[in-house]
Structure 1
Amino acid sequence: MKRRMTGLWTGIWTAALLWPAVMQGHAEARATGTASVDAVLVLDASHSMNESDPQGISAEAMKMFIDMLPASGSRVGIVSYTDKVQREKALLEIRGESDKQELKTFVGQLDRGPFTDTAVGVTEAVRMLLRGEEAGRDPMIVLLADGNTSLDSEGTRTRADSAAELAEAAGQAKDAGIPIYTIGLNADGTLNRGVLRQVSDRTGGKAFVTDSAADLPDILSEIFAGHQQARVMTVAASAPSVKPEIRESGRTDSSGESRAFSEFRIEIPDGEVIEANASIKGAARGSLELLDPNGRTVPIPSDRALLSESSAYALLKLVRPEQGTWTLRVQGTGTRPPEMGLVFSYDFELAIGKLGPYYERGSKLDVSAYLERSGRRLNSPELYRSARAALIVREEESGAEEKIPLSLENGRFVGSYTLSRAYNYDLTVRAESASFYRESKPVRVEVSGSAPREAAETAETKFRPLAALAPAVPGLLGAAGVAALAALVGGIARANRRFAGRLLVEIVDEHSGRLLHAHAADLTGLRGRTDLLRLLGELPESERFELRAAEGVTLRPGRGGAPVLRSRAADAEIRRGGLLLEAAGGLPLSSGERVEVLPAGTRRIAVLEYRSRP
């Protein structure tokens, strides 16, 4: 127990150390929908699976998943567990069919043992992905189990210990952007659906249940397509008939009758398809015949058409298929015609055209979006015409979303939106067609409102009546009294002065220059002295702690409500244009001017830019 928890804490600390790089890399990978996959297949190898999975569906599923991956680029690891890690294979990069075969051979050699502890397998899978994390790769876990826990009665570990570790591992996976897809094996009806669903729901995966190998093509196609931002398309076959060429070649069933065949039309809509994965149920082994759009026979297998077959499925992978209608002829194995699902793999992403981060209420936002690959805009009219796009506007405060359809103009999706309220908004564009969908990376815009009329009223205006009494004051109070009264009035006036405009605050990493946080602070509702840390918005506590040395940096309203920066913090530098400034006596900020605050002992820089207009 102690050793297992030590391993878990090691994984947690690893996740903490790798967190920024992991999340940035995973976010970029998910945005494209075409990143190379890092997958760990996790198998319950306990004796209870003899009843839950007597037909070895789990092994078939793992092999089919491996077959569905691209011919090269992805990495796959395997974890087999009981109440401990039974066997595991570290992430192996697939460079060709021999690597896939190595993985499938490993799956075929897995044996079973006593006791079951799902937490052990999930924890090891998460740790494997974190240890091997690389930017630009898309991680996932597929868990095949019955969800039950059976511990050694002579051990010290309890069900509560197992549940706590599983929750911890699932939380780790969620934080690192690793979805866990669960396939529950339920041949004997003892499946613990609740445990598996909790794991998948918490991590952004999906839960499936099966007791038949016939379900695997549908389940794995859905997992594969969802993770690659693709669609599973059902392709209808022609009515079964008898093909003369097959009869003449002597392909008959046990009764000596020629088998029926079906024809599938595979429409490749454009020239951007990297792979077309056709999963077929009910196909006789060795019965597939393929014709390209020109009517020429394509050998199976070949460099253009890769084939994987088992008793449960046939998987045909068309590599870089040319645009047009392909024909696939399939012999059935029984009275029901074969069935086929189709998934396309694409290599592009959806991007939003450049937008500014700050806007005023009532501004009209013109939005454009386009498909791109490796930073270059994609020129594919067929792709654009096949898709529908919409701008999704989400208010940060309320979470309310609005969907605005975009139109297609000059090879891009365009539209506009009026920013009617002073909120922070997250903008994304989603494009979808029959074969794919893409979502752009979210863009944050901050919208400020107009300054209240009373905000323009300065403290000098309020205290104008006192100025009328000034000539009589020296005779009444003398020089000392005048000085004291002046100090009192000045203090009251400064305390009641209002700011005008807004302050744009950016928190930047000093070494990399990466923007960590941005916020537009509306100053019009503030008066008197204000601490800089109050104006940072919803800053994570870790970042606020990093900036603690800036606690002595304050702002007060000066002429016309413009802020005056003052620093009494000996360990915080103030710079403008690279020059070190003295701000102990107050540094007025002009509209459009950028000033840097550099707290000591941290890599963070607070960049301030004042704008006089709200």
Structure 2
Amino acid sequence: MIITLTAAILSLLLCLPLSGFAAPAAGDTKIDAVLSVDVSSSMNESDVNKVSFEAMKMFIDMASVQGDKIGVVAYTDQILREKALLKISGVQDKQNLKSFIDQLTRGPYTDVAVGVNEAVKVLESGGGEAGHVPLIVLLTDGNNSLNTGKSQEQSDQVLNQAVKKAKEKGIPVYTIGLNADGKLNKDVLERISSETGGKLFITSTADNLPKILSEIYASHLKLKVMPLTGFTANGDFQDVTVNIPNASVLEANISIMSSKPVEVKLINPAGQEQTIPSDKIVYSSSSAYTLIKLLSPVQGDWKLRIKGVPKEKIDINLIYNYDVQVSMELSSSISYKPGDAVPVKAYLQANGQKATDANLYKNAKATLIVTDLDTKKTMESPLTTAAQGFEGTMKVAEAHDYEVKVKVEDANFVRESQPASISAKKAGAAAPAPTAPNTSPADASSATLITPIAWIGGALVLLIAAALFALSLWKKANKGFFGQMVVEVKDEDTGERTSPQYRKLNAFKGKVELHQLLQLAPEFAETKQIIFKPGPGDTIILYNQSSCVIEKGGRVFDAVQGKELKNNDRIKISLQNVNKSITIEYLK
């Protein structure tokens, strides 16, 4: 009865009209990035000075001072270390990531599939936030070198599944091949990047890695790397001009590449020397680079003064991070025919508002991109640039459906508007307008019954709500599980692991102790206080009332009040009474 009434109420609710929601204007884009690096022993020869570590640290330093998420995976033929996506909220978070990289060690064997697969899992576990774009950077220096316990066929199967999942979830994989010995398997890396929408980079020397990582950062955010005038150091301060072209620059990243330390000074457009670092200037350096990040810098020519070791070659690059989006306006008509000219207007937005800075439009070029959805052909045509906008016309060629968008590009950035669809196909017959019903005296008299009926209806709704609440409590206490747990036990003294044990969860109702999944083995008695309960949307909620330490992605977390586990989430539980750890992966 309760279910029937609930269905009726839901049917009535679904019949009510829904208000439309306008999407808010997009602000500056944030990234969810996983840096997956090959730490096999062969890297000791191809990357003697661990420049790959420095390149990853430079990528971290280039990330926004707040909002970006970055994780790290260090792999051989297995995961040696990993750090879950960390949301950056300040300099200390970046330092934590860089310190983690400094602690990485190297080991035998290589399996690229492991690096890709784990990076996808890290993004699945901690990514997906609105306004964030995911990416994976995969670095390796050679072909697979597998342990005797794993075949190439098994590796290929894992890689194919990981690439498929990355493609489905819109995660581009940027692959970097360090081809120091000339034996790199380029085809595998090319397939990974091309199938996922990433890009392949090949280099014969690790010295190029910082530059490649900066290109990936810029490319993914639709920014451009601007090389500034480099020089050979003479031991004195040498000047380089850094132009801030307009007021919409959120951050200006100045990267100085030198294998030896440099000293820097910075003069603003007013001629005043700046304190480095300060609240508006972030400074970081390593053995391979120095990076200066200007936050909301003043428009104009800044002077960068650099003193390097004599005869040392110094390269300088600049990447602007813009809060700029493109908004497109089409004619309000909803039906077109071949031969129609459709007016198109577009303008730039900054901070969610129409940009009024004429400098943003000064050197910008706008292109109208029209895709015929029937023939799959795309045509591009230039738009006219006005003082504060772009204008043009789309000519409807055939009675087809079309997708229309505007791309704006200048020396520093590339942006595209959200696509819009128009149709030039023959419109269907218009639906007849609804007619108002006639009102009779009987109808008028029945209106007097509305008030008491409303009261009765309200009371009924309250009764139903109470019944539903009681039903929900009963269901919560007896809710079933979905999926299974994959359980492995590792002896921390010997390093030996048990084979993965698959424990189906559908036999349990309401809750299950970890000790039950471990078949109530006496040595694991402390896991009685680690409890799993069904969560919303086929998730599981973990509660830890024990003294065991629980990690996810290399980070310890507190689960006293509950911690949600989603499909493919993997955790490590370090026991206190015995020197063993338990790895658990939840699979739906």
TM-score w.r.t. the length of structure 1 is: 0.63
The aligned runs of 1:144-293 (5 Å cut-off) are 144-153=139-148, 155=149, 157-236=150-229, 259-282=235-258, 285-293=261-269
Does the 8 Å contact 2:51/2:207 carry over to 1? Answer: no
> In the alignment, residue 231 of structure 1 is paired with which amino acid?
K
Residue in structure 2 matched with residue 105 of structure 1 by the alignment: 99
Separation in structure 1 between the aligned mates of residue 170 and residue 374 of structure 2, nearest angstrom: 24
Higher gyration radius (CA): 1
Shift of 1:418: 1.6
Separation in structure 1 between the aligned mates of residue 211 and residue 41 of structure 2, nearest angstrom: 27
| 1:344 aligns with one of 299, 305, 320 | 320
Shift of 1:360: 1.5
Quick one: structure 1 residues 223 and 240, their matched pair in 2 at CA, closer, same or farther if it must change by over 3 Å? closer
Separation in structure 2 between the aligned mates of residue 262 and residue 220 of structure 1, nearest angstrom: 26
- Cα deviation code 1:373-415 (max 9, x no counterpart): 4542222211012211111112123332222211123511111
Does the 8 Å contact 2:385/2:391 carry over to 1? Answer: yes
Does the 8 Å contact 1:52/1:189 carry over to 2? Answer: no
Shift of 1:345: 0.2
Residue in structure 1 matched with residue 348 of structure 2 by the alignment: 371
Shift of 1:183: 1.6
| 1:435 aligns with one of 403, 407, 412 | 412
- Cα deviation code 1:515-542 (max 9, x no counterpart): xxxxxxxxxxxxxxxxxxxxxxxxxxxx
| 1:125 aligns with one of 113, 119, 128 | 119
Quick one: structure 1 residues 52 and 419, their matched pair in 2 at CA, closer, same or farther if it must change by over 3 Å? same
Does the 8 Å contact 1:330/1:338 carry over to 2? Answer: no
| 1:502 aligns with one of 427, 441, 454 | 427
Residue in structure 2 matched with residue 419 of structure 1 by the alignment: 396
Percent identity among equivalent residues?
A: 43
Aligned Cα root-mean-square deviation (Å): 2.6
Q: Secondary structure at the match of 1:100?
A: helix
Separation in structure 2 between the aligned mates of residue 59 and residue 375 of structure 1, nearest angstrom: 37
Residue in structure 2 matched with residue 139 of structure 1 by the alignment: 134
1:391 aligns with 2:368: yes
- Cα deviation code 1:563-614 (max 9, x no counterpart): 999xxxxxxxxx97999xxxxxxxxxxxxxxxxxxxxxxxxxxxxxxxxxxx
Residue in structure 2 matched with residue 38 of structure 1 by the alignment: 32
Does the 8 Å contact 1:291/1:297 carry over to 2? Answer: yes
The aligned runs of 1:402-481 (5 Å cut-off) are 402-448=379-425
Does the 8 Å contact 1:284/1:332 carry over to 2? Answer: yes
- Cα deviation code 1:17-48 (max 9, x no counterpart): xxxxxxxxxxx99x969311100111122223
Q: Secondary structure at the match of 1:71?
A: coil
Separation in structure 1 between the aligned mates of residue 436 and residue 314 of structure 2, nearest angstrom: 71
Quick one: structure 1 residues 393 and 33, their matched pair in 2 at CA, closer, same or farther if it must change by over 3 Å? farther
Q: Secondary structure at the match of 2:165?
A: helix
Quick one: structure 1 residues 578 and 372, their matched pair in 2 at CA, closer, same or farther if it must change by over 3 Å? farther
Quick one: structure 1 residues 130 and 52, their matched pair in 2 at CA, closer, same or farther if it must change by over 3 Å? same
TM-score w.r.t. the length of structure 2 is: 0.66
Does the 8 Å contact 2:166/2:172 carry over to 1? Answer: yes
Residue in structure 1 matched with residue 497 of structure 2 by the alignment: none
Residue in structure 2 matched with residue 603 of structure 1 by the alignment: none
Where do 4+ consecutive residues of structure 1 move more than 4 Å?
239-242, 354-357, 562-565, 575-579
Shift of 1:186: 2.5
The alignment covers a number of residue pairs equal to 413
The aligned runs of 1:596-611 (5 Å cut-off) are none
Shift of 1:115: 2.2
Q: Secondary structure at the match of 2:155?
A: helix
Separation in structure 1 between the aligned mates of residue 183 and residue 27 of structure 2, nearest angstrom: 36
1:79 aligns with 2:55: no
Quick one: structure 1 residues 326 and 421, their matched pair in 2 at CA, closer, same or farther if it must change by over 3 Å? same
Separation in structure 2 between the aligned mates of residue 266 and residue 317 of structure 1, nearest angstrom: 12
Q: Secondary structure at the match of 2:383?
A: strand
Shift of 1:445: 1.2
> In the alignment, residue 320 of structure 1 is paired with which amino acid?
S
Separation in structure 2 between the aligned mates of residue 240 and residue 279 of structure 1, nearest angstrom: 16
Shift of 1:50: 2.4
Shift of 1:205: 1.1
Residue in structure 1 matched with residue 51 of structure 2 by the alignment: 57
